[in-house]
Structure 1
Amino acid sequence: MRTRAMVLVGASILFASLFTWLGFWQIRRLHEKQKYNDTVASRRFLPPISFDSIPADTLTSRFRRVTLAGTYDYQNQVVWTLRGRDGSPGVNILTPLRRPGTDTAVLVNRGWVYSPDATRVDLDPWNEADSLKGDAYILPLHGNRSAEGGPIRSRSFRSLNLEELRRVFPYPIAPVFAVLTTAPVDSVANPPRVMLIPLDEGSHRSYAFQWFSFAAISIIGAVIFTRKT
């Protein structure tokens, strides 16, 4: 019985240590999420600036609000596949915006449209006006991704890899893309805009409480067992 009790106490301490570590890991994740939310909020709610004024560091410009003006090049737009919305499969339409005074285009995420297989869609019905003057927020295009993120068919991409995207355009594209927030003129004929990411803290706090509870149960259970034996 004594050996059995020692084994149980040892196992309880081991599990309690593991559960405690997992609890503090969730606390660290919570702090990281809070820091991320603070960063996003500090940029998202600033007044918009001209696209040409954004910082060169793409991480610094992430989620920065900008104003855009230029002409859409619908002949060279691409789709970002496997984009869900309220449980429905679909794609995001990314249209290059040609801006005056530069040969570098900016990819504009104009919104989401339904696609049964989340990869293919007829883009022509979703074209808007020829020119754009509106607001958006900036996200970086990823670099150095594996080939898995490349096009699954012509002009359709699982992930937005800068190198892969640059290969399909006849002109330079910026290392960031703009997510359009200006409401569409026609809410039926134009694609609905991509919704902003909610700035919540997730479930890290409740998960931490859960792991700390498991740790306490392990220790209390071991104490009760040893007293009875």
Structure 2
Amino acid sequence: QHRDAERYVVMSTRGKTIAFGVLTAITAAVCVRLGFWQLDRLQQRRTQNAIVSSRGAQPPLSLAGLQGQDTSVTHWRRVAVQGVAEYSRELVHATRSQNGSPGVYLLTPVRPLDGSWGDTAIIVLRGYLYAADGRTVDFDKAREADTLQLETLLTEFPPPKLGQARMQSSPRAMRLLDRDTIAAMMGRPVAPFILLAIGDTVMTDITRPTRVPAPTVSDGPHLSYALQWFGFATVFVVGFAFFTFGGGAKRRR
């Protein structure tokens, strides 16, 4: 009976060790997979950074030169804007923030001086404007010159999302940037891109627009996240080894 009890204890301990080992292997494998996923995202980001840097270094395009261009090719190209701002049809992208403050992005339709786009509105994201409720601003105080001369970056409209793009509580505010909705609100065609105005991103007057920072070219947190996941995998494996051959063995003795 004593030997049977010892055999039962040994088998039970071995079974628990095997189960613990399987669980450790699965957990470590998941952590390693997540680590390689972060490295893959890092590579994708570096590829995107190279595209952004390369296109940003090219000479600015004119508004006329954008006609017929594929936005996937012109994305992040600099564009020189000279046009008449139609402030009466201005909209806001609601619930934005900058430096932790609530506000909106001003979406201003512009007519090129050369008439190259006809009745089609060119949407210029003029900048960030403080709004305590994230949607209500004084459009008149936020005006700049009637004729705008700006350096901008061309950005694409984001992919369509589910939900109401227009805010029902505010007639000139949008929850989502949707080209068709903007065209319907403005009553005219809209070009297939948004131009991000470049300039001073320091707020000096809450009633005046502050330029939105251009995207930063950096590796982001992906490498540190990858190292963390690989570290977690190492901790699980080392912990299992210690439990099996170190602490666990001492307890069995």
Superposition TM-score, scaled by structure 1 size: 0.92
Runs of 4+ in 1 over 6 A off after TM superposition: none
Which residue in 2 is equivalent to 1:93?
106
The equivalent of 1:163 in structure 2 is 180
Distance change (3 Å), C-alpha of 1:211 and 1:139: same
Give 2:137's aligned amino acid: V
Match for residue 59 of structure 1?
72
Q: Is residue 216 of structure 1 aligned with residue 234 of structure 2?
A: yes
Are residues 145 and 2 of structure 1, via their aligned partners in 2, closer, same or farther at CA, if it must alter by over 3 Å? Answer: closer
Asked if structure 2 preserves the Cα contact closer than 8 Å seen for 1:16 and 1:216, the reply is: yes
Q: Give the C-alpha shift of residue 224 in structure 1.
A: 2.0
1:122 partnered with 2:138: yes
- Count matched residues: 227
The DSSP-based 3-state class of the residue aligned with 1:227 is: helix
Match of 1:8 among 16, 20, 26: 20
Paired AA for residue 160 in structure 1: L
Structure 1 residues 145 and 15: alpha-carbon distance in aligned structure 2, compared to 1, 3 A threshold: closer
Corresponding letter in the other structure for 2:90: Q
Partner of 1:106 in structure 2? 122
Provide the residue aligned with 2:86 in structure 1: 73
Quote the Cα distance in structure 1 between the aligned partners of 2:59 and 2:208: 26
Q: Please state how far the C-alpha of 1:105 moved relative to its aligned partner.
A: 1.7
Give the drift of 1:113.
Answer: 1.0
CA RMSD of aligned residues (A): 1.8
Partner of 1:89: helix, strand, or coil? Answer: strand
Higher deviation after alignment, 134-143 or 205-214: 134-143
Q: Deviations over 1:62-119 (max 9, x none)?
A: 1110111111111100011111011000011111101232221201111111100111
2:39 to 7, 23, 27: 27
Distance 1:114 1:221, change over 3 A: same
Aligned residues of 2:129 and 2:208 also touching (Cα < 8 A): no
Instruction: Name the CA distance, whole Å, in 2 between partners of 1:204 and 1:164.
Output: 35
Residue 143 of structure 1 and its aligned partner are, at CA, apart by 5.5
Q: Deviation per CA, 1:200-223: give whole Å up to 9, x if none.
A: 211111111111111112112222
Relative contact order higher in (CA < 8 Å, ≥ 6 apart): 1
Kindly indicate whether the alpha-carbon contact (under 8 Å) linking 1:151 and 1:164 is maintained by their aligned counterparts in 2: no
Aligned-pair identity (%) = 32
Q: Quick check: 1:139–1:177 contact (8 Å CA) kept in 2?
A: yes
Equivalent residue number for residue 212 of structure 2: 194
Provide structure 1 residue ranges, at least 5 long, that are not aligned to the other structure: none
Whether the 8 Å CA contact 1:143–1:163 is kept in 2: the answer is no
Q: Distance in 1 between matches of 2:41 and 2:63?
A: 33
Listed as ranges, the gaps of 5+ residues in structure 2 are 1-12
Paired with 1:155 and 1:193, the residues of 2 have a C-alpha distance of: 20
Q: Distance in 2 between matches of 1:206 and 1:24?
A: 12
Contact residue 19 and residue 211 of structure 1 kept, 8 A:
yes
Match of 1:138 in 2: 154
- 1:31 CA displacement: 0.9
Cα distance between partner residues in 2 of 1:7 and 1:145: 44
